[in-house]
Amino acid sequence: MSHSTTTVFAPARQRSRARKGRTAQIMSAAAIDHFGPPSVFRIQEMPVPAPGPHEILISVHAAGVGIWDTEIRGGWWPEGKPKFPLVMGVDGAGIVVAKGARVRRFAEGDRVWGYEFINPKGGFYADYVAIDARHAGPIPRNLDLVRAGAAAATGLTAFQGIHDHLKVSRGESVLVFGASGAVGSLAVQFAKLQGATVVGIARGREATALVRKLGADESIDALRSNAIEELRKTWPEGFDAVLALAGGGMLEKCLAQVRPGGRVAWPNGVEPAPRRRRDLRMSSYDAKGGAREFAALKKAAEESGLQVPLDGVFPLDQAARAHERLENDQVLGRIALRIRG
């Protein structure tokens, strides 16, 4: 099936609510009352969260939809018990409409993107979200609000994997495994920004074409029977570094093509995790979303002219469809919810 970008605009009722701005006391949110399949989503009316002293209130324009969202909706929770109704969404972008008394970094009207995992005041699948100001940053000049909303968590994960954990430098060779996905499509671009030679592994012709379009020097189709042979021919001397965004037998064969002393990094949550090898430096990580990290991401996004591939944009009241798409189809880039605009 085709994976071209699908844009669906929010209904008029929701847009008119958005124009009320911060004077609105009630907002719409895609929330769940219990864990389960995508059908558990309901559009619920609830109070607009009040920002605390260190928080900003964001009028949300777009929210990212990630695989971690589907896992939470399905029943995964880090500790304790969640408070229902639970508003989903760990990242997104919008406009600051209010701020706490101790917030100095932002002013009302600023365009921001943010990432806050397990926010007790609710997530980004809503008209408004209140988050710690330290977990947000100014949006890069080259990104609109929808693409920024789709790239906050994935951008942090991709950039920190390439820059902080693999410490990729000019002239090195980097293999991005899972290069057409939400994180991989950005990691390819950040690795090129570092001056590396980049080879991407993706599944299918459309996926490999996207990886090449994003700047990879080579793109190899994991579905081809001779993929590993092709990889060996592409870079016979072995790779310096690998960012692994999926696990399994194909990844293990690819890791055999890393030179001794090479580095391998992967975000926590990749299953199965790569098998440890004595001759490689291997590490897992969680993305950090502080002020310093968002500043570094903004700089890299602007310097690289970052492209954020969108494989689907759904209105808030179709959050269930967005989750179904993510769970059932191959997604090239990322899926987002458009809240406003």
Query: For residues 44 and 124, what is the distance between their CA atoms, to the nearest angstrom?
Result: 14
Among 228, 279, 235, residue whose Cα is nearest residue 252: 228
Domains and CATH numbers, the chain: 12-143+308-338 (3.90.180.10), 153-285 (3.40.50.720)
pLDDT of 16: 41
Question: At a CB cut-off of 8 Å and minimum separation 6, what does 184 contact?
Answer: 158, 176, 177, 178, 200, 202, 211, 243, 245
Query: For residues 145 and 310, what is the distance between their CA atoms, to the nearest angstrom?
Result: 13
What's the predicted TM-score (pTM) here?
Answer: 0.91
pLDDT of 234: 87
Helix (H, G, I), strand (E, B) or coil at 266: strand
Query: For residues 165 and 268, what is the distance between their CA atoms, to the nearest angstrom?
Result: 13
Query: For residues 184 and 52, what is the distance between their CA atoms, to the nearest angstrom?
Result: 35
Query: For residues 300 and 96, what is the distance between their CA atoms, to the nearest angstrom?
Result: 23
Q: Which two tokens stand for residue 123?
A: 């997530």
Query: For residues 31 and 93, what is the distance between their CA atoms, to the nearest angstrom?
Result: 18
Residue 91 backbone phi and psi in degrees, to 5: -150, 160
pLDDT of 79: 85
pLDDT in tens, 135-175: 999 999 999 999 999 999 999 999 999 999 999 999 999 99
Distances in Å between the alpha carbon of 48 and those of 22, 23, 55, 134?
9, 10, 14, 20
CB 151 within 8 A of CB 300: no
All residue ranges of the chain with pLDDT < 50 are 1-23
Q: Which two tokens stand for residue 34?
A: 């219990």
Any idea which residue has 């994935």 for tokens? 154
66 burial (CB, 10 Å; 0-12 / 13-18 / 19+) is: buried
CB 231 within 8 A of CB 254: yes
Helix (H, G, I), strand (E, B) or coil at 22: helix
Q: How many residues does the chain have?
A: 341
pLDDT of 14: 39
Helix (H, G, I), strand (E, B) or coil at 337: strand
Residue 128 β-bridge partners: 59
